[in-house]
Structure formats: structure tokens, C-alpha cells
């Protein structure tokens, strides 16, 4: 059974890298407004995923970094949809 790390949830977005992951996800979503923005978005997502896979850290920390990226992406979706 998976346990939720409550201390990690309380400490979310406390470091500069955590905030950067969310901002990168936000940007990856918003570039879709541009012509051919989906290709830029796809490149950002692929680079981030490869970087996280190759980074020397625990798998749990990489998972949290991915969640931070997805939170930023999800926060930008309403703005993206209102621009279309």
C-alpha cells in the first residue's frame, strides 16, 4: 500500500527548483497559443522528462518534480482555453 508523505506535501514549492518546475510547466502549456506552439510545448515536455530521468536523485523526488511540472501545466490550461 502506498503511503502519502505528508511532510513532502506541506513542504511543496518551498525551494527555487520546485517553483521553476511549475513555471516551466506553465510555459509549456501557454506556448500552445503561438503558431506551431504545440511543437515547442512537446519539446519542453520531452527535455524535462529526459532531464528528470537522467538526474541522480531518488525516484520519489523525480516523481514529485513531475507533479510540480504538471501543476504548472494545469494552472495554465484555463488561460490557454480562454485565449482560443
Per-residue pLDDT of the chain (84 residues; tens, 9 = 90+): 455 555 555 666 778 888 999 999 999 999 988 888 899 999 999 999 999 889 888 888 888 889 999 999 999 999 888 886
For the chain, give every domain's residue range. Answer: 29-84
**Per the structure block, which three cell numbers stand in for 78?**
484555463
Q: What are phi and psi of 3, to 5 degrees?
A: -105, 140
Predicted confidence at residue 3, as pLDDT, reads 56
81: buried, middle or exposed (CB in 10 Å: 19+, 13-18, 0-12)? exposed
Among the listed residues 50, 45, 49, the one whose alpha carbon sits nearest the alpha carbon of residue 27 = 45
Could you tell me the pTM of the whole model?
A: 0.81
Predicted confidence at residue 13, as pLDDT, reads 73
Predicted confidence at residue 9, as pLDDT, reads 57
Amino acid at each position: 500500500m502506498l503511503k502519502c508523505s505528508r511532510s513532502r506535501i506541506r513542504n511543496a514549492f518551498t525551494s527555487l527548483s520546485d517553483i521553476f518546475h511549475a513555471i516551466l510547466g506553465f510555459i509549456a502549456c501557454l506556448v500552445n497559443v503561438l503558431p506551431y506552439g504545440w511543437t515547442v510545448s512537446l519539446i519542453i515536455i520531452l527535455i524535462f522528462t529526459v532531464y528528470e530521468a537522467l538526474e541522480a536523485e531518488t525516484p520519489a523526488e523525480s516523481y514529485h518534480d513531475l507533479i510540480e511540472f504538471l501543476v504548472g501545466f494545469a494552472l495554465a490550461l484555463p488561460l490557454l482555453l480562454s485565449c482560443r
